């Protein structure tokens, strides 16, 4: 058991200074003051002056590496657990990407199990960029229903030169399979949508929504900060009730080509009146970040970083004046709710003890607790007060 003393608790709503008692991997109590006199087996940790926040939920990470659009020497590497932990992430969603030939779902699941046994909470999407979707059981519905880690399908690519050309019925078919599997297994069954920079934007999703009974909440489109036009389209889509996700990994060159920083996109969507429950940021960690010229030739390729999620949270607060609790929601409760991860993304009694501790002034990640255990413990010393 651990008692976190007198940190400023954002649950993610601001609860003020509280004591947080955890044990058995769960949060046992959050109170103004909790006394552990007579319980020497409780580890007391003084976190006064620090922010105690939910462990971050990163809804899109290429944990086995993503693409490699410049040939085999540009294949992006697997994610190392330190990349997540040092960035305050305790829950992540692993996905395939452009390359579903040399990156397999079997490998994705194995990597997820590795990270889980090291202490993180990891879920995955079946499928990849392309249709028909790759699966383990030859059925999206069966994969989502029967394989614990799978909570949806994706990221299915649309409006992208790498996407499978498809009509709305093909996408509706994928959505209904994921939805059915999700309902039968009490999971979200979402369809993660990779949106490229073709000018069709979110049109295909709108066609599905206006011609079928698939609800708008079944889709979780990402990279919506890719261009100014897509951001405007995404804000419009969100105002109709949809979720939109902004990608935090970027490069100077990508920003020069017109991408909007995720933190800025978040601030703009909030200003436009979109509710924070519909807005999320994800890292796209270990993705390839290719830059193509006007002829479609690759000119640069960098690797996405999970740590960019934390940096974008800090940027949202410091550069774009988003309130701390609101910025936090975009990387905690909002993605957890969209993905139906009910014990994630919040500090609540009986919820999982996934906690990130930030410096009170710089918001640097100092310590990370996942399922009640320290995965990172920096500059937080065990207090001796009760001896």
Please, what is the minimum distance in Å from the beta carbon of residue 237 to Zn ion?
17
The alpha carbon of 71 is separated from its chain's Cα centroid by a whole number of angstroms, namely 28
284 is catalytic: yes
Please report which helix (H) or strand (E) contains residue 144, including its range.
helix 140-146
Please, what is the minimum distance in Å from the beta carbon of residue 66 to Zn ion?
8
Choose the binding region for Zn ion from 22-30, 69-77, 151-159, 340-348 (rule: CB under 5 A). Answer: 151-159
Please, what is the minimum distance in Å from the beta carbon of residue 353 to Zn ion?
31
Using DSSP, state whether 281 is helix, strand or coil: strand
Choose the binding region for Zn ion from 31-39, 46-54, 166-174, 189-197 (rule: CB under 5 A). Answer: 189-197
Binding mask 222-261 for Zn ion (x = CB under 5 A): ----------------------------------------
Q: Kindly write down the DSSP assignment for every residue of 304-335, as one continuous string.
A: --TTHHHHHHHHHHHTS---HHHHHHTTTHHH
Number of residues in contact with Zn ion, rule: CB under 5 A?
2
Q: Which two tokens stand for residue 32?
A: 């103004």
Please, what is the minimum distance in Å from the beta carbon of residue 154 to Zn ion?
9
Per the CB < 8 A criterion, the answer to whether 202 and 244 are in contact is no
Catalytic residue among 19, 143, 245, 284: 284
Please, what is the minimum distance in Å from the beta carbon of residue 202 to Zn ion?
14
Q: Give the integer Cα–Cα distance in Å for 364 and 254.
A: 26
Does position 103 interact with Zn ion (CB under 5 A)? The reply is: no
Per the CB < 8 A criterion, the answer to whether 334 and 91 are in contact is no
Choose the binding region for Zn ion from 192-200, 213-221, 229-237, 275-283 (rule: CB under 5 A). Answer: 192-200
Out of 2, 50, 111, 194, point to the residue binding Zn ion (CB under 5 A): 194
Q: Give the integer Cα–Cα distance in Å for 274 and 187.
A: 25
Comparison of 155 and 352: residue with beta carbon closer to Zn ion: 155
Q: Which two tokens stand for residue 118?
A: 């090291």
Using DSSP, state whether 261 is helix, strand or coil: coil
Query: Based on the number of CB atoms within 10 Å of its own CB, is 361 exposed (0-12), middle (13-18) or buried (19 or more)?
Result: exposed
Q: What share of the chain is helix, strand, coil (3-state, %, to 5)?
A: 30, 30, 45
Binding to Zn ion (CB under 5 A): which residues in 110-129? none
Dihedral sign from CA coordinates of 279, 359, 80, 78: positive
Q: Closest residue to Zn ion, Cβ-based?
A: 194
Do strands 365-370 and 355-359 pair parallel, antiparallel, or not at all (unpaired)?
antiparallel
Comparison of 119 and 221: residue with beta carbon closer to Zn ion: 221
Choose the binding region for Zn ion from 48-56, 149-157, 238-246, 302-310 (rule: CB under 5 A). Answer: 149-157
Please, what is the minimum distance in Å from the beta carbon of residue 383 to Zn ion?
45
Q: Which spans of this chain sit near Zn ion (rule: CB under 5 A)?
A: 155, 194
Residues designated catalytic: 284
């Amino acid at each position: 058991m651990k008692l976190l003393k007198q940190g400023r608790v954002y649950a993610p709503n601001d609860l003020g200074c509280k004591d947080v008692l955890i044990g058995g991997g769960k949060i046992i109590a959050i109170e103004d003051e909790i006394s552990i006199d007579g319980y020497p087996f409780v580890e007391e940790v003084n976190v006064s002056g620090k922010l105690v926040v939910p462990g971050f939920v990163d809804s899109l990470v290429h944990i086995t590496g993503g693409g490699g659009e410049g040939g085999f020497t540009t294949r992006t590497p697997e994610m190392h657990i330190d990349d997540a932990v040092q960035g305050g992430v305790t829950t992540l969603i692993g996905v395939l990407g452009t390359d579903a030939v040399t990156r397999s779902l079997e490998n994705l699941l194995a990597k997820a199990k590795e990270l889980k046994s090291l202490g993180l909470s990891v879920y995955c999407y079946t499928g990849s960029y392309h249709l028909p979707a790759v699966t383990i059981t030859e059925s999206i519905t069966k994969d989502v229903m029967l394989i614990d880690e799978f909570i949806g399908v994706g990221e299915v690519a649309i409006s992208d030169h790498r996407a499978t050309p498809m009509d709305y019925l093909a996408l509706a078919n994928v959505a209904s399979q994921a939805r059915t599997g999700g309902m039968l297994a009490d999971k979200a069954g979402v369809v993660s949508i990779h949106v490229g920079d073709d000018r069709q934007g979110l049109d295909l999703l709108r066609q599905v929504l206006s011609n079928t009974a698939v609800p708008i909440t079944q889709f979780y489109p990402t990279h919506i900060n890719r261009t100014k036009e897509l951001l405007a389209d995404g804000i419009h889509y969100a105002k109709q009730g949809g979720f939109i996700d902004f990608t935090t990994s970027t490069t100077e060159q990508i920003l020069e080509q017109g991408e909007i920083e995720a933190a800025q996109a978040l601030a703009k969507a909030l200003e436009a009146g979109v509710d924070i429950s519909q807005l999320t940021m994800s890292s796209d960690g270990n993705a390839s970040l290719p830059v193509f010229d006007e002829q479609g030739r690759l000119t640069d390729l960098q690797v996405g970083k999970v740590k960019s999620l934390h940096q974008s949270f800090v940027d949202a607060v410091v550069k774009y004046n988003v309130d701390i609790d609101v910025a936090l929601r975009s990387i905690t409760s909002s993605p957890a709710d969209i993905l139906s991860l009910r014990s994630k993304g919040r500090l609540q009694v009986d919820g999982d003890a996934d906690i990130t501790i930030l410096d009170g002034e710089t918001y640097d990640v100092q310590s990370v607790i996942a399922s009640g255990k320290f995965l990172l413990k920096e500059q937080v010393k065990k207090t001796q007060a009760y001896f």
